[in-house]
Amino acid sequence: MDDLLQLEVHDLEVPVLTGIFSEETHLPQPLRISITVDLDVAAPFTPDTSLAASKNYMDIKRAATALPAGQHFTLVEAVADHIADTLFTSDARVSRVDIRIVKLAIAEHGESIGIRRVRHRP
């Protein structure tokens, strides 16, 4: 079994233009986005290993928070695919992306309603 490094950025609240119903399409909806990235890296890490051997967590956060301005995503599944494509394009070492998106505006009693999208490098 190969060693694995997973980087995680969880529970980002991001306003996104998404939805299919008329009441959803005019204003951004708050989404809670969590991302786990599998990164192919050489192991092991030593105390003086540079950041270049891993990945900056802020790159993962930016993939979720820097969505195209004014872009409407009909489905949150498309939001997840956009994030995954951004991560695959930005770093050849990203082998798998696991994205969870919760639609906060439709929760009535604190429940989590949303999707999980897992993509592997094409």
45-72 residue pLDDT tens: 899 988 888 889 999 999 999 998 889 9
Long-range CB contacts (< 8 A, 24+ apart) of 20-25?
20/74, 20/75, 24/105, 25/72
Does residue 105 or residue 13 have the better pLDDT?
A: 13
Q: What is the pLDDT of residues 24-41, one digit of tens each?
A: 667 899 999 999 999 998
Distances (CA, A) of 50 to 6, 7, 88: 17, 16, 21
User: Can you list the alpha helix ranges (DSSP code H) found in the chain?
Assistant: 57-65, 76-90
How many CB atoms neighbour CB 23 within 10 A?
9
Domain borders along the chain are 5-120
In this prediction, residues 110-116 reach a mean pLDDT of 92
CATH 2.60.40.1180 fits 5-120, yes or no: no
Classify residue 101 by burial, with Cβ atoms within 10 Å: 0-12, 13-18, 19+.
buried
In this prediction, residues 93-122 reach a mean pLDDT of 93
